[in-house]
Chain A
Amino acid sequence: MRFIMSWLMLSCNKATELVEKKIYFGLSISERIKLLFHNRNCAVCEHYQKQSVWLHDILKVFLAKNGNKPVSILPADFKSRIIRKIEEI
């Protein structure tokens, strides 16, 4: 029993690492069991997991789209500078 418990035990640092591994690469069966067991007993890491999956969904949309930044106009000499560079090649 003690052996099983020590096998199951994860620190919060490790558990939240596994949350990220799960999102980006997937987990092995034993990792899945450990994470499930940890989160069932640790409300904080469960919040972390929920928020991390949410953040993943948000970032997917936000960073793949153009974001929401105001776009500045190119300086007047920008185009002529590039054209000059190309002329020189």
Chain B
Amino acid sequence: MEAKETLKVWVEEHSQTLYNFAVSKIDDTEIAKDLVQDSFIAAYAGFENYKENSSPRTWLIGILKHKIADHYRSLYKNEHISITQEGTSAFFDNVGMWDSKHIPKDFSTDVNLLDDTEFLYVLNACIGKLPKKLNSAIQLKYYSDISSSQICKDLSITATNFWQMLHRAKLRLRECLEINWFKV
């Protein structure tokens, strides 16, 4: 079948599936829509790489995954970090001791919380509240099982740079959960 005709059928059949996948990885629905559209266009451009015997859905999702990773990579690279807002200075004093307002309290670390929809709601909100660069660091690390060193290679950054970013992100996530879930 001709590429254009095939693509039209695929758009009809798989748009919703691709969109569901995209919004599960990206909060902004407009960006999710753009990425779905870009994926179909990329599928058309690279149609000769499609193997007849594989499922179009799997192939399209594969393309979409690349688009999502590209999106977070460019977010990570283009967001400039503001040290006051996104650094660690709010959490530690100038000799690196915990700031009294930010000292982590002990809370129960139970993986069964993953079954609690209310907890997941709070977790999702806390991830969404992270500054963009820190959010994209977390998304890049966890949305698929790429190794940390591969992520650094793709971003051309050093390992130190990346774990420091994850440190800043997790200081905030941890505190957000402590305040909004464990304290309530």
A binding-site residues for B, Cβ under 8 Å: 11-14, 16-17, 19-21, 24-25, 44, 47-48, 50-55, 57-64, 66-69, 71-74, 78-79, 81-83, 85-87, 89
17 contacts between A and B (CB under 8 A): A44-B104, A47-B104, A50-B109, A51-B107, A55-B173, A61-B114, A63-B139, A64-B144, A68-B120, A78-B19, A83-B8, A83-B11, A85-B41, A86-B8, A86-B40, A86-B41, A89-B45
* Residues of the A chain whose Cβ atoms lie less than 8 Å from the Cβ of B159: 25
Question: Smallest CB–CB gap between B4 and chain A, Å?
Answer: 6
User: Chain A contact residues: over half helix, strand or loop, or mixed?
Assistant: helix
Total residue contacts A-B, CB cutoff 8 A: 138
Are A82 and B162 CB-contacts (below 8 A) given A68-B117, A69-B124? Answer: no
> Are B96's CB and A13's CB within 8 A?
yes
Additional A-B contacts beyond A20-B164, A59-B138, A87-B4 (6; CB < 8 A): A24-B163, A25-B149, A47-B105, A48-B174, A51-B174, A67-B120
